[in-house]
Amino acid sequence: MKIGFVGLGHMGAPMALNLLKAGHTLSVFDLSEQAMQTLADAGATKAASPKAAVSGAEWVVTMLPAAAHVRSVLTAEDGVLAGIAKGVTIIDSSTIDPASAREFGKLAQAHGNRFVDAPVSGGTGGATAGTLTFMVGGSAELYESVKPVLSGMGKNIVHCGDTGTGQVAKICNNLVLGVTMAGVAEAMALGEALGIDAKVLGGIMNTSTGRCWSSDTYNPFPGVIETAPSTRGYTGGFGTDLMLKDLGLATDAAKSAHLPAFMGAIAQQLYQAMSSQGDGKLDFSAVIKLYRGTKG
Ligand code: NAD
């Protein structure tokens, strides 16, 4: 299938590479020339704009930082809606607020197109391995139709309900993730201060009731998990500023639902402190630096 792909960052690039490996034809656009070149080297065509990337495409995938980027990529003069053929479906895998996803759904519909929110879970490792979980918001029929495209990038493709519910699932999941990472970081730093070896403590946690993705796959203490960003200087994973954005989405959503978000609000302040100290681009597991000080 011919796919127009916009947004080739930490997640988008490996996702697009997997679509190429699955035999699809890709036309790609990103603000970064270097990101586009990596895809071109693997067989994709570089486009000069989102409009050019989606010209002649049967499917469109966007993987952008936040709702403002999605809005501009869709609606700009040289944007997706200006170049897309009628009837083509736009799959947005960015993590954004459910209300914006519903707004983009209506925008696409008014233009004679279809839109699904399909945010992902699984991190850069899952994006590279093609094992992402997709949380799909849209009609049952639309969900069935996007499965062949999404299966080139992920393993679990879950229908969450109508447009926007994929984002509901995603922000609730990331609320848990932001909180568990802060909890594991706090416990690992405490263990270090009290004199236990970090690998021993990590190992115990991972066969005990403290086990979670933040401890067994993405442990924030360097050296506990060889493949985790903490072991490579907190680079190349899920940026702190993106986690901060997601916790903002969760706490805003809680406010609109008239619910408290005690844990989310505290976690949000931790990542805000990191970002304010200039660590916003580091992987979010660098939150442990707030506890370890100069050792981190
Ligand atoms: P990223 O910052 O690495 O990549 C975003 C890419 O979008 C960059 O290459 C940037 O140049 C490009 N971009 C920005 N504005 C653009 C525009 N107007 N036109 C074209 N390209 C533009 O972010 P990421 O880590 O790949 O995350 C993307 C989305 O996926 C975010 O919404 C994030 O919350 C979500 N997400 C990330 C992870 C993760 O582990 N990194 C996991 C799950 C979900």
**Tens digits of residue pLDDT in 209-232:** 999 999 999 999 999 999 999 999
CB atoms inside a 10 Å sphere around CB 231: 14
> Is it the case that residue 296 has pLDDT exceeding 80?
no
DSSP β-ladder status, 25-29 and 2-6: parallel
CB atoms inside a 10 Å sphere around CB 63: 28
What residues does each domain of the chain span? 2-162, 168-295
H/E/C letters for each residue in 77-112? CCCHHHHCCCCCEEEECCCCCHHHHHHHHHHHHHCC
pLDDT for residue 132: 98
pLDDT for residue 294: 77
CB atoms inside a 10 Å sphere around CB 254: 18
Please provide the average confidence, as pLDDT, over all residues in the chain: 97
Segment 261-292, tens digit of pLDDT = 999 999 999 999 999 999 999 999 999 999 99
d(CA 75, CA 107): 9
Q: Which residues line ligand 1 (CB under 6 A)?
A: 6-12, 29-32, 35, 63-65, 69, 72-73, 94-95, 120, 123-124, 237-239, 242, 246
> Is it the case that residue 144 has pLDDT exceeding 80?
yes
Cα–Cα distances (Å) from 155 to 120, 121, 222, in that order, read 11, 11, 29
Q: Give every CB contact of residue 108 below 8 A, 6+ residues apart in sequence.
A: 74, 81, 90, 114, 115
Cα 206 to ligand 1 centroid, rounded to whole Å: 30
> Is it the case that residue 293 has pLDDT exceeding 90?
no
AA letter at 226: E
Cα 197 to ligand 1 centroid, rounded to whole Å: 36
Q: For domain 168-295, give the CATH number.
A: 1.10.1040.10
The residue ranges of DSSP E strands in 83-216, in sequence order, are 89-92, 114-117, 120-121, 132-137, 154-161
* Rg from Cα positions in the chain: 20
Class of domain 2-162: alpha beta
Which residues pair with residue 158 across a beta bridge?
135
Substitution site in 6, 8, 10 for ligand 1 pocket (most atoms within 8 Å of beta carbon) = 10
d(CA 12, CA 132): 12
Structure tokens at 257: 């639902």
Segment 148-163, tens digit of pLDDT = 999 999 999 999 999 9
Give the residue numbers marked as catalytic: 170
